[in-house]
Amino acid sequence: MNERTISDADQGVPRTATPPPQDNYGATCADAGTGSTVPLSNRRSVAARDVYQVVHLIGKGGMGSVSLAQDVRLRRWVALKRLSEQYAHDSRLLARFHTEAQSVAALSHFHIVQVYAMDEDDEGPYIAMEYVAGPGKVAREGWPGNLPPPPMDLEDMVKTQGVLKVAEAAKLGIKLCSAVGYAHKRGVIHRDIKPANILLNEEGEPKLADFGLARQVNAQHEGMTMAGAQLLTLGYGAPEQETDASRVDERADLYALGATLWFAITGQNPRFFRESEVPGPLRPILSKALEKDREKRFQSAAEFEQALSKLDPRARFVPQATAIDGLLPGCCPKCGHQHDLGDKASAKRKFCESCGTALLEPCLKCGAENGVWAKFCGPCGADLNTTLNAEIERLQAERDRFEVCHKSYQFEEAIEILTPMAAVKHPRLKVFHDWAAEFLPRVRAEFEAAQQQRDEALQKAQSLATMCEYRDVFPVLENVPKPLWTPTMEKLHRVSRELYTRASQLRKEVADQIAAKDYDTLKAKVLELLKINPNDAEVQKLLQQLEKREERLREASWQAVRKHPTVRNCQEYIANYPAGPHVSQVQALLAPLLRDSLVDRPRDATVRQQYVAIRTPQLQKLDEKLARQGCQIVDAIGGALAGAVLGALVGGVGGWIGGILGGVIAGVALGIVLENKA
C-alpha cells in the first residue's frame, strides 16, 4: 500500500532481516517456497478483462500486483489482485490466495475489506475486492486526478501525519477489535494483522485487509501450514508464530492488534516495545495484549475491546447492539453520571445533564419510553432486555440474509431488507441503522448500474440474433447475473442456444455426408441450415453446388427415360424430380405403358390408380369410347338371350330364332339410346 513498500518490492530492497514475498496490499508469506504446480489449462473460468477494466497499477511486489479496476457490469471500483507469474503455479501460494478470498467471502463487516469475486484466466488467478479509497487529502505522485483517491494504510498515515493520541488509538482499537472478533466468531483467524494491512477510507475509518495467511478454524486443509512453519511479519507476529504457526489460535491476532496499536501511538516497530514508553491509560492494556504467554493475554477480542472502551467514555463506540445490564436507576450509560431520581427535575430529564446522552429508550413492544436502566416496561410489562435481544437476533438474521441476496445479485430483495433496517430508531440498535443507511444508497446505485448493463446486453443480444449470430448471443446474456434476467432474456437465450446447437449438429451431419458422398438427404439439411441463418455464404454456396448436381442428375435421368421409356425409368424420374421440367413429358410416356399393363392385368388396382392419375385427355376419351362400345355389346348379348328365351317359350324353334334377332336389335337400339343420353 505505501510508496516505500511498492518501490522497495520493485527494487528488491528488504524491509525485514529475512524478506518474504509481499504484495502491495501488505500480504506476507514467509515460507512461500516452490511447491507443486497446478495447471491452469484444466480450469474453465471467466477472464478478468471481460468483467474488469484495469485503469491504474496501485502497486507491485514480489508476490503479485494490485490494480485499480472498474467492474464493467456494476460500474464500481474494485482492487484487482493477482499473483505474479512466477508464483501462479505454486500450489501452496495458490492455496493461500484462494484462502484469502474464501475467508473474507464468508465475512461481512464494515471494518473488513469485502471480496467480490475470485477466478482464474490465462494470466493466472485473481481476486476482485472492495477498493478502499484513502482520505481525499492524500496525494500520491503519478496518481491520475480523475480517479478515486489513492489508498492509504495505517503505516503510511503514521509516517506522514504523525502518531495517534490515546483516545484516537482507543477508537481505532475498538473498531478493529469489532472486526477481528466478528471474524473469530466465524472461525477465521487472520494471522497477519499489522499497520500495512489496515486500510483507511476517505472518512478515516479502518478496514482490515489481506487475509492471505488466514486460517479457518474448522477447515479441512490444515496441511497448508506445516508443523513448524513460521508465518509472521517480524514485530507483529505472536511468539508462538515464531515456533509453530500451525498451532496459533485467536489470541495471536490479539497480540498483533496490540502491536499495531503500539506502532500507532509511537511510530516504532513492536520489536522495540517498552512498557515504560506506553502512555499511562494504555499501558496495562497493551502490556496484557503483548504478553508472550498467550494464557496471560486477553482471551477474546470482546475482552480487549471492553478494556479499550473504558479509556475515554466520550469515545463510546457500539460495535454491536447489546442490552445494558446492571445499570443503577438514574445512571448514565455513557459517562456514568448518577442522576437523583428523587429530584423532580432530575427525574424528568430525558438527557444526561453531564454528557447529553439519552436516558430514555422506547420499548420495542409497545413503544413507551423507559429509563435505560429499567428491566421491564412500565406500561406493558415487557422484559426490555429480552425483547431487545430478540430484535438484535432478528436484525442480525436479516443482515445475514442481505449478504446472501447482495452477493447473488438479488438487489430488489436486498433493498427490501435494508430499507426498514435503515429506519430503526432505537439507540441501542444504531449499529444496524448506520450499517443499513450506509449500504442502502450503494446497493441502489449498484442495482441501477446492473439494470442498465442488463438492458444494454439485451439490446446487443437482440441485434446479434437479428444478424443470426446465435453463437454470440448467449455469452452476452450470460454476462448479466441470472437473477436480473427478464422473461425476454430467458426466451432469447433459450432459442439462441437451441438454434446454435441445431446448426452445429446440422453442420457436422452435412460434413459427414459430404465425406461419405451421401447426397440423398443433404439438400434438406442445407435448406434447414439456411432457414436458421439465411446469410451464411458458405451454406448458400453449398446449396448452389447441390442444385447444379441435381440438375445434372435430372437431365441424365430424362435422357435415360427418352432412350428407354420403361415404366420403372419413368416412375423413378417422377419420384426423384416431382417438380422437374420434364415431368409432364415423362407422364405422357408413362401413361400408355401403364395402359398396356392394365390390358394384361385388368384387376391390378394400383396400376389402374397410377394410370388414371396421369393419363392424357386423349387417352381418357379413347377409354370412354371403348367403355361405351363394350356396353353396347353387352346390351346386345343380353337382349339376344332375353329374346331367345321368350321366343322359345312362345313359338318353339322358330320363335327362338326370331327372339334372338329381336333381342339383338332391341339391345343395340338400347345401347344407342344410352350412348346418346351420355
Residues 80-111 pLDDT 10s: 988 877 777 777 777 777 776 777 777 888 89
| pLDDT at position 174 | 92
Q: Which of 395, 391, 396, 416 is nearest to 405 (CA)?
A: 416
Average pLDDT on 560-566 reads 87
Residue 351 lies inside a defined structural domain of this protein: no
CA distance 354 to 14: 53
- Domain span at residue 554 reads 538-615
Same domain, 191 and 51: yes
Question: Please, which pLDDT band fits residue 642 given cuts at 50, 70 and 90?
Answer: low
Average pLDDT on 333-349 reads 70
Question: Please, which pLDDT band fits residue 449 given cuts at 50, 70 and 90?
Answer: confident
CA distance 128 to 121: 13
The residue to which cell 420434364 is assigned: 582
Catalytic residue among 192, 210, 253, 635: 192
Helix H segments across 42-165?
48-51, 91-105, 154-161
Residue 17 lies inside a defined structural domain of this protein: yes
Cβ neighbours of 323 (radius 10 Å): 14
Would residue 512 be called left, alpha or beta, if left means φ above 0 and alpha means ψ between -120 and 50 degrees? alpha
Residue 370 lies inside a defined structural domain of this protein: no
Residue 414 lies inside a defined structural domain of this protein: no
588 or 663, greater pLDDT: 588
Question: Please, which pLDDT band fits residue 246 given cuts at 50, 70 and 90?
Answer: low
600 or 570, greater pLDDT: 570
38 or 436, greater pLDDT: 436
Does position 165 have pLDDT exceeding 90, yes or no? Answer: no
Q: Which helix (H) or strand (E) holds 389?
A: helix 384-407
Instruction: Single out the residue in 535, 558, 583 at which a domain terminates.
Output: 535
- Whether 224 contacts 25, CB under 8 Å: no
Same domain, 488 and 453: yes
| pLDDT at position 510 | 92
Average pLDDT over the chain reads 77
Long-range contacts of 201-206 (CB under 8 A, 24+ apart): 201/132, 201/133, 201/134, 201/135, 202/133, 202/134, 202/135, 202/136, 202/149, 203/135, 204/135, 205/110, 205/111, 205/175, 206/111, 206/154, 206/172, 206/175, 206/176, 206/179
The DSSP secondary structure of 259-291, one letter per residue, reads HHHHHHHH-S-GGG--GGGS-GGGHHHHHHHT-
| pLDDT at position 40 | 38
- The three-class DSSP label of residue 614 is helix
DSSP conformation class of 245: G
Q: Cα Rg for the chain, rounded, in angstroms? A: 47
Same domain, 206 and 309: yes
**Which pairing describes strands 115-121 and 77-83: parallel, antiparallel, or unpaired?**
unpaired
Distance of CA 479 to the CA centre of its chain: 7
Same domain, 448 and 587: no
- Whether 510 contacts 520, CB under 8 Å: no
- Whether 543 contacts 534, CB under 8 Å: no
CA dihedral 565, 571, 575, 579 (to 10 degrees): 50
Residue 387 lies inside a defined structural domain of this protein: no
329 or 294, greater pLDDT: 294
| pLDDT at position 500 | 92
Percent of the chain scored above 90 by pLDDT?
A: 21
Phi and psi angles of residue 468, each rounded to the nearest 5 degrees, phi first: 65, 25
CA distance 80 to 438: 23
Residue 416 lies inside a defined structural domain of this protein: no
| pLDDT at position 324 | 52
In a 13 Å sphere around the CA of 84, the CA atoms on its Cβ side amount to 17
CB neighbours of 615 closer than 8 A, spacing ≥ 6?
591, 594, 595, 623
Amino acid (1-letter code) at residue 151: P
The residue to which cell 457436422 is assigned: 508
Amino acid (1-letter code) at residue 12: G
Q: Which of 235, 229, 232 is nearest to 192 (CA)?
A: 232
Same domain, 472 and 581: no
- Whether 216 contacts 222, CB under 8 Å: no
- In the chain, the number of structural domains is 4
| pLDDT at position 228 | 36
Residue 296 lies inside a defined structural domain of this protein: yes
Distance of CA 382 to the CA centre of its chain: 46
How would you class 193 by CB atoms within 10 Å of its CB: exposed for 0-12, middle for 13-18, buried for 19 or more?
buried
pLDDT in tens, 368-408: 888 877 888 888 988 888 888 888 889 888 988 888 888 78
| pLDDT at position 6 | 29
Q: Which of 89-103, 212-226, 499-513, 582-596 has the highest mean pLDDT?
A: 499-513
228 or 148, greater pLDDT: 148
Long-range contacts of 8-16 (CB under 8 A, 24+ apart): 9/59, 9/60, 9/61, 9/62, 10/60, 10/61, 16/233, 16/234
Same domain, 549 and 657: no
Cα–Cα distance list, 131 to 70, 77, 202, 414, 472 (Å):
10, 6, 11, 21, 32
CA distance 561 to 584: 12
DSSP conformation class of 33: -
Same domain, 310 and 195: yes
Q: Which of 90, 42, 91, 49 is nearest to 71 (CA)?
A: 49
Question: Please, which pLDDT band fits residue 662 given cuts at 50, 70 and 90?
Answer: low
The residue to which cell 516505500 is assigned: 4
Same domain, 516 and 553: no
Does position 655 have pLDDT exceeding 80, yes or no? Answer: no
| pLDDT at position 24 | 37
Residue 581 lies inside a defined structural domain of this protein: yes
| pLDDT at position 672 | 55
Instruction: Single out the residue in 315, 348, 375 at which a domain terminates.
Output: 315
| pLDDT at position 30 | 32
Same domain, 458 and 519: yes
Same domain, 457 and 486: yes
Q: Across 513-554, where does the E strand assignment appear?
A: none
Instruction: Single out the residue in 615, 647, 665 at which a domain terminates.
Output: 615
Q: Nine-digit cell at 497?
A: 442456444
pTM of the entire predicted model: 0.44
Does position 612 have pLDDT exceeding 70, yes or no? Answer: yes
The residue to which cell 485499480 is assigned: 68
Question: Please, which pLDDT band fits residue 344 given cuts at 50, 70 and 90?
Answer: low
Same domain, 594 and 635: no
Same domain, 590 and 653: no
CA distance 155 to 142: 20
pLDDT in tens, 2-27: 333 323 333 333 333 333 333 333 33
Average pLDDT on 337-343 reads 72
Longest dimension (CA), the chain: 167
| pLDDT at position 219 | 44
What is the total residue count of the chain? Answer: 678
Q: Is 325 a catalytic residue?
A: no
Question: Please, which pLDDT band fits residue 177 given cuts at 50, 70 and 90?
Answer: very high
